[in-house]
Structure 1
Amino acid sequence: MKNFKRTVLAAVVVAMISGCGSAEDSSARFIESGKDLMEQGEFDKARLEFRNALQINPLEAEGYYQLALIDEKGQKWKGMYSNLVTVESLNPNHVPAIIKLGQLHVVSGQLDEAMKRAEKALSLEPENTDAILLKATTLIKQENFGMAESEINRVLAIDPKHMEALTARVMLFKNSGQTRKALDAADEALAIHPDAMPLKMIKLSVYQELNDYAAMESLYRELLPEYPNESWVAVSLAKLLNDSMNRYDDSKKVLEDYVANNPDDAETIMLLVALINSRDPDLAMTKLDEFIAAKPDNQELRFAKIEMLSIQGKQDLMISELEAIIASEPTSEIGLRARASIAGIKAQEGQFEEAETMVNDILAVSSEHEQALLLKAKLQLRNEQIDPAISNLRVLIRNNAELDEAMVLLAQAYALTGSSELAENSFRQALSVNPTNAQAALSVASVLMRGNDLDRTEQVLVRALDGNAGNENLLQALAQIRILKRDWAGTQQALDGLADSSALTHLLTAQMYQGLNDNTLAIAEYEAALKIDPNLTRALQQMMAIYYQQDQKEEIVTFLNDHIAQYPELTNGYLVLADFYRTEDNLPEAIATIDRALANDDEWTAGYSLKANLHYLNSEPDAAIAAFEEGLAKTPEDNQLAMQLASTHESKKEFEQARRLYEEVIARDPSIDVAANNLSSLLSDQFESPENLQRALVLSSRFRDSEQPYFADTFGWVNYKLGNYEDARPALERAASSNDAIALFHYHLGRLYVALKMPAEARQSFERAEQMANEENDAELAGKIGEQLSQL
């Protein structure tokens, strides 16, 4: 047997040696074959050929460059960028790749990087027109129009008909505000290249800036016969006629003519129906029925009708349509989509159990059905089943990288687990996919605000408003940013988009006046806001701030007591007054104020939490516990209060009481992850026994793949205690590598490494734990770590 193996190995070596001389040739043949296929438009087959070339020679830069070109065709920018970076690392002088990278940097706004690539390409090939144009377009973006024009003229001196140079010249004039010259330059270029669509598009954008709608109409009508099957031309013209020129009939005719010639274009049909619906809903429905009768198998048209019925508020008819689809095709794609739509309606109506049953039935047929899986994740988040929701949302995003709604939900799920960095990344990902996603924009804006990056915050909000005109949350955030920037004209512009009579408008107007140091007008606007919405806490807080700034403390107390007398059922007056007393270090009076509120509403659970916190500030821990217990006596099944009280007992090392409270919470609602985590931790650390460790394992098993570091650490530590080291390791390593890691996580990981006989890794973990424990002022843990290090 040994001789047989040696013979086979020798044969393989001989084959490898004999093939070495031809490997380069084979790789080149695959690349040439791939290029031929690209010319024929066979991009998938070409990609396979380039992959074959790279299998033979992984250091072949040209193979990666050709893959980048395929990615460019498919608008897969991340893949294109990755392949170009690989080309640059393998062949730093590959000029076409350098130029393509520079172009990507221009698009992404990284102008310094773009200029570096342009200069490098020109150092290698000084007369390369693409490199010169890269430098020119970068200069245009940098608003260095004089130098940009010189570079463009260099290209035109080499080739007076250079299409990209002529286009860049038009863009230069447009961006520098020379609109007349831009139009003249476009006409000159079109005389040379009469079919150049980019030039015509630039002309349209210039006309739009000039509000020259007649010229835009004329150019669109020239394009219609040239591109009879391109929907964007007809749709753009129809939008111009209807939205900007108030010519509904002409707009409708443009779309009708296009649809008559392109009866299979369901998307444009739906736009036509939507246009008609804006004027005549009954006619729109009749038209849509005609289209459906002509194309009965078109799913999009059938669901367009369902959506229109929803918009018209005809819920019963909408459900009937969905049920008819389900009856005829219960397990087809359209049938599953209809069932998912009804499940969504059930969820909106609060029939969550029925919705979940329907979703599970759909997923039993199609385990990754997008609509059903998305609704499943929403229901899981509602039930605080965070980890299963995260798992489903990842599947959705893996299957559809453009699904920004799933990204927003994933961000919210991460936020619920305390993983703020993962949440922020998901919100940013959603915003990159869809810059008009309001939820993502508000979240990213909030993060940018914390970094005091006001300019980028404003840009995010303005872009989001492009797709959400009139969105109050976005306008409110934009107004607040502009107040901070002291951009009063911009603030007023944002306020103009809000309803004049709303409490929100008065509140923001008051903030603007407050920023202008006109406190009289600010107070008048805050009072107007409170008259509309007396529960507007921010208005009370800002008025208190104005009075406090003017040292009118008696006026604060009088004003807030008057508000309380007028609206005794609202808690905001008590809250702001208690906060005033806390600011004045008058904690007994702050506590008395909260007691006044609780006397009026003894089921106000947040009041008991606030009262307990005030007692803590006043160095009265027993009174704090009494406040929590008082709240639980009034609302005995309030899980939040019970968990806060349990946490308080833990901090006082009263572990038995904490355990009892966590057990009660889990008995009421087993899905609460925080309660399961905290009880598992207590059982494994304070009540360790074989039985309790097994119970802790059952409770924490849901955290096996959790991204929340505290949950992952608990699962890992319980498994460590049970000797399940292979289960413990990934969870503990994940917790310790998190940006939210604490000293305890590194200590736990060090203990595991000791058990696994990995002393170097153990020492590294303990040293990191010791450093963090000292930073956290945790002397007890630091002592334990010191013992472990001495034993090592």
Structure 2
Amino acid sequence: MNNLSSLRFSGHPPYILAPTMFVLCLSLLVGACGSAEERKAVYLEKAEKFLDEGNFPKARVALKNAVKIDPKDAHTYFLLARVAEKEQEWSQAFGNYLHILDLDPNHRAALTRLARFYLAGQQKQKVSEIAGMLFKQNPHDQLGETLRASVLFMDGEKNKSLAKAQEIAVQNPTDAETLILLAAVFSANKEFEKAHALLKSGLAAQPEDVDLLNNVATTYLAMGKPQEAQGVLQKIIDVEPHVFAHHEKLAKLYLYLKQPDQARAVIRKAVEREPDNEDRWKQLVAYSEPSQREQVLLDALEQLPHSLSLRFLLGQLYEFNKQPEKARATYEAIVAEEETSDPGLKAEVQLARMDFSDKKQELANSRLEKVLHESPRQADALLLKGKIALGEREGKEAVQAFRTVLKDNPNQSTVLNLLGKGHLLSGEFQLAHESFEKAVELNPRQFDAAMALARLSVKNGDYPKAQQYLESILTEAPNHLETLGFLFKVYVAQNQWSEAEKVLVRLREAKGSPYAIDLADGLLAQARQQWDRSKKSFEKAMKAKPNELAPLTALIKQELFRKRSAEAERYLKQLVAKNPEHPYASGLLGAVLVQRKDQPAALSAYKRQTEVNPAWIDPWRDWAMLEWSSGKKTEAIRILKQGFSLNPDAIQLATALASLYQANEQIDLAIQEYEAILVKNPGAVAAANNLAYLLTDKKGDQESLARALALTKSFNSKTPNPLLLDTLAWVHHKLGNHSEAVSLLRNAVEKAPTHPLLNYHYEVVSIQAGDSRTAKKHIE
């Protein structure tokens, strides 16, 4: 469809003439009956004054007061709509213009402004309807004819449209709206000189019409004459010096021309014109050099010492500049002055966020508790609380926080995405899906949510649906590399080789990294059992990034799949000989040697790997398990403890150590290890499940059972996993809550009807509950 959307909506609002003396005298004669009209006139007079000063917020308030007195005054609504345009509140302006037509269907000015909106949105039908309404008033209406020409252009009838436009232009119209729309038709056909001439003819009669001037500047730019455009934009500022948008437009032109000093000068003049306007100061900060922004903000605060938004901006600048002490001092000063007011609570949340980043968890939580005690629905505090819960894998707590935020603003796509993540952590996959779907519906560029939906679809085996979600991202961002990579894997998983090849081409066109492309090409060739091609691609990837794990692992797995373990061993030994400090080669060699049943050499390789790259977790665990399998239990435990001491955040090693303690009947040590895991990772479900088992079956005292119940009570809602339900049921059984145990196990058995342990437990608890018939029936 042809584009006519380059229209400007920043015209000069009509002025309102003050009430005449005759009207005033008449009002005095009618006394009280005219009081409402008098009040309306006062508000309109105030609005006129504010419009002259460029004080649009106050003009808006005065006009709204006038509308309250006379809600059927179309002209006052028109002024409100024009103020909304000046403030670039397009939806408000559009809504007001529509309302005007409800009051006065023939309001020409409102019809004209609506036509611009519809043209910008390429809504042909609506543009045609407005043309028809204008023709009802005047069958030869030039604006109506121009709208008709615009519709012809959008319909692809370019020649007819241009002929019609030329016919209207020959008639020398003087109406600014008609000229602007005619110019849009010619500009859409790249006839910028003709469009420019039309607009200039209008300026001859109306030299200070801001709409005409704006469009003249646009045609100058289209004609490659930025210097002339600068002059016109400066003229607009001279006509309406109080409208900041004009200053910003000229500043942006200077930035485009790579003249940042001139851009800053324009914004600074706007600030000097209204030094009490904090929004202008904020723009000056944005246009300033990074090294000058702190001083600009300090200057602003000298002029506006009580501006909280500027103080918050200063704190954020200090954070960005990695000056945490100054940022803290700024926020703490706000807290001290504002205490429990909204700004004070907001500053407290900023401090909590900094505490959390500094790993001061308790202090961060303490601040958030304080804020939420004063204001239980403080959005910033709830968002941070939810994000912290996500980081700790506490899905339920995260869900509760994000849901509370959404109660006050249900259409925040970012929060809906976070809510979906909380549901995922809680095992509530359908609720997660619904949250992600709504996030994407509200904002198609919420790529994180769309990716989550694609992953859920893959998890459910619905690859076509995953492709749809990924393609929806690529519709918005065709070169989104992460999405292209995921789409490639989806096609490979379905053996759709030709489609995978097409995505690989798109990855290359999107300038993906050569390493990633070679790795992908190798994986595709490997899946198609094109061994020579895959090996060549993997080796190219390794040449680009010699120390990466993925291509080396893929190549070794390929050799093992082909039952070429000797070749894999030889390749890795050569690599280790060439690069003894390779971060992964010795560990992979250990795995290959295990397959080749060379345990002594495997143990040596694993030991070497943990010395070269102690941060790689897998070799520690594999080394320990190999020692354990040969009966060296003490050595296996020692290895895991050593690995964990070097990697204190490695939950895999802690879990493996706890499981070895448990297998070695060192129950107290196993319990101690699981408790330590849960301190660092409260959402570690497997650790909670294993600990609950030990407390219930290996301890069994009331204190241990109470702790086991606390650990497992969320299992019923957290996940559909029947084994977790079984643990919770067994805890209830041990506590004597037999009916609750029966109910939980019934649910578990329905989910896994052939599982022997679940069936055995169901039999036991049914008997204990006095339901031997159910137990017997179940056994049968």
1:788 paired residue among 764, 774, 778: 774
Matching residue of 2:691: 679
> What do residues 578-627 of structure 1 show as CA deviations (whole Å, max 9, x unaligned)?
66679xxx363599647612354276653354468899xxxx98879899
RMSD (CA atoms): 6.3
State yes or no: 1:773 paired with 2:753. yes
1:242 aligned to 2:237?
A: no
TM-aligned CA deviation for residue 273 of structure 1: 1.8
Distance 1:255 1:275 in 2: 8
Q: Which amino acid is the alignment partner of residue 563 of structure 1?
A: L
Q: Do the aligned residues in 2 keep the contact of 1:213 with 1:240 (CA within 8 Å)?
A: no
Q: How much does 1:401 deviate?
A: 3.6
Q: SS state of the match for residue 297, structure 1?
A: coil
Q: Which amino acid in structure 2 is aligned with residue 373 of structure 1?
A: L
Give 1:387's aligned residue: 396
User: Which residue of the other structure, out of 319, 325, 328, is the alignment partner of 2:334?
Assistant: 325
Q: 1:550 to 1:609 in 2, by over 3 A?
A: closer
Deviations 1:522-578 (A, max 9, x none): 877755654664431122234457878999876544333333345555553245556
8 Å Cα contact 1:368/1:396 also seen in 2 = yes
Q: How far off is 1:376 after superposition?
A: 3.5
* Equivalent in 335, 346, 349 of residue 355 of structure 2: 346
> 1:69-119, CA deviations, whole angstroms, 9 ceiling, x for partnerless residues?
xxx9899xxxxxxxxxxxxxxxxxxxxxxxxxxxxxxxxxxxxxxxxxxxx
Shift of 1:339: 3.1
Q: Which amino acid letter does the alignment assign opposite residue 343 of structure 2?
A: I
Report percent identity of matched pairs: 21
Q: Name the counterpart of 2:296.
A: 287
How far apart are the structure 2 equivalents of 1:183 and 1:575?
Answer: 73
* Residue identity in the other structure for 2:692: S
Q: 1:513 to 1:636 in 2, by over 3 A?
A: closer
Kept in 2, the 8 Å contact 1:270–1:301? The answer is yes
Are 2:507 and 1:491 aligned? yes
- Could you say if the C-alpha distance between residues 409 and 486 of structure 1 is closer, same or farther in structure 2, counting changes exceeding 3 Å? same
The letter for the 2-side match of 1:773 is P
| Alignment check: 8 A CA contact 1:643 1:662 kept | no
SS in 1 for 2:340: coil
Cα distance 1:305–1:631, how it changes in 2: closer, same or farther (>3 A)? Answer: same
Q: Alpha-carbon deviations, 1:451-481, whole Å to 9, x = none?
A: 2544641441564699xxxx98578668878
Q: Is 299-308 or 671-680 further displaced after alignment?
A: 671-680
Contact 1:445 1:461 in 2 (8 A): no
Q: Which amino acid aligns with 1:398?
A: K
Partner of 1:270: 282
Q: Deviations over 1:738-782 (max 9, x none)?
A: xxxxxxxxx73475xxxxxxxxxxxxx69xx45741499977579
Counterpart of 1:32 in structure 2 is: none
Q: Is residue 2:743 matched to residue 1:748? A: yes
Structure 1 stretches lacking a partner, 5+ long: 1-37, 46-71, 76-135, 142-147, 497-503, 733-746, 752-764
1:370 aligns with 2:379: yes
Contact 1:441 1:461 (C-alpha < 8 Å) held by counterparts: no
Match of 2:610 in 1: 601
* Other-structure match for 1:15: none
**1:536 and 2:519 are equivalent in the alignment:** no
1:141-540 equivalence runs, <5 A: 194=177, 214-215=221-222, 238-239=251-252, 242-243=255-256, 245-248=257-260, 251-252=263-264, 255=267, 266-267=278-279, 269-277=281-289, 281-282=291-292, 284-401=293-410, 406-432=415-441, 435-436=444-445, 439-440=448-449, 442-447=451-456, 451-452=463-464, 453-454=466-467, 456-460=469-473, 463=476, 484=500, 486-487=502-503, 490-495=506-511, 505-509=514-518, 511=520, 530=542, 533-540=545-552
SS across alignment from 1:486: helix
Decide whether aligned partners of structure 1 residues 237 and 441 sit closer, same or farther in structure 2, where only a CA change above 3 A counts: farther
Normalised to the residue count of structure 2, the TM-score between the two structures is 0.57
Aligned to 1:773, what secondary structure does the other structure show?
Answer: coil
Aligned to 2:110: none
In 1, Cα distance between the equivalents of 2:381 and 2:134? 57
Residue type at the aligned position of 1:355? A
Distance verdict in 2 for CA 1:314–1:424, change over 3 Å: same
Gaps of 5+ in 2: 1-63, 72-89, 94-117, 137-142, 191-217, 492-498, 767-771
Change (3 A) 1:153 1:379: closer
Amino acid at match of 1:297: H
Q: Is the 8 A contact 2:575 2:585 kept in 1?
A: yes
Residue by residue over 1:362-388, the C-alpha shift from the partner in whole angstroms, topping out at 9 and shown as x without a partner, is: 444444433333333444444555533
* Higher relative contact order (CA closer than 8 Å, sequence separation 6+): 2
Structure-1 separation of matches of 2:668 and 2:152: 71
Contact 1:681–1:696 (Cα < 8 Å) also in 2: yes
Residue 697 of structure 1 is matched in structure 2 by 709
1:559 is paired with a residue whose SS is: helix
**DSSP-derived class of the 1:588 partner:** coil
Contact 2:386–2:401 (Cα < 8 Å) also in 1: yes
Partner letter of residue 774 of structure 2?
A: Q
**Contact 2:423–2:431, Cα closer than 8 Å, also in 1:** yes
Shift in CA distance, 553/665, structure 1 to aligned 2, threshold 3 Å: closer
Q: Aligned pair in 2 of structure 1 residues 185, 720: CA closer, same or farther (>3 Å)?
A: farther
Q: Determine helix, strand or coil for the equivalent of 1:373.
A: helix
- In 1, are the aligned partners of 2:413 and 2:443 still within 8 Å (CA)? yes
The answer on whether the counterparts of 1:696 and 1:718 sit within 8 Å (CA) in structure 2 is yes
Contact 1:234/1:258 (<8 A) preserved:
yes
CA contact (8 A) 1:171 1:202 kept: no
Which letter maps to 2:401? N
Measured against aligned partners, the alpha-carbon deviations of 1:494-526 in whole angstroms (never above 9, x if no partner) come to 226xxxxxxx54333553588699999987775
Mark the CA change 1:686 to 1:635 in structure 2 (over 3 Å): closer, same or farther: same
Q: Partner residue of 1:93?
A: none
| Separation (CA, whole Å) in 2 of partners of 1:696 and 1:535 | 45
Equivalent position SS for 1:359: helix
Supply the AA of the counterpart residue of 2:286: A
Range that drifts further, 252-261 or 673-682: 252-261
Aligned length: 602
Instruction: For 1:300 and 1:200, locate their aligned partners in 2 and report how far apart those are by CA, in whole Å.
Output: 42
Q: Distance in 1 between matches of 2:333 and 2:366?
A: 20
Q: Which TM-score applies when normalising by structure 1?
A: 0.57
Q: 1:777 to 1:201 in 2, by over 3 A?
A: farther
**Secondary structure of 2:711's match?**
helix
How far apart are 1:491 and its partner, in Å? 1.9
Aligned partner letter, 1:484: A
The question of whether the paired residues in 1 share the 8 Å contact of 2:569 and 2:593 is answered with no
Tell me how far apart the structure 2 counterparts of residues 196 and 780 of structure 1 sit (CA, whole Å): 86
Q: What code does the residue aligned with 1:559 have?
A: Y
Aligned in 2, Cα 1:511/1:167: closer, same or farther, shift over 3 Å? farther
Paired residue secondary structure (1:601): helix
1:398-421 deviation line (CA, Å, top 9, x unaligned) = 344455555454444444444445
Task: Supply the AA of the counterpart residue of 1:333.
Answer: D
1:300 Cα offset (Å): 1.9
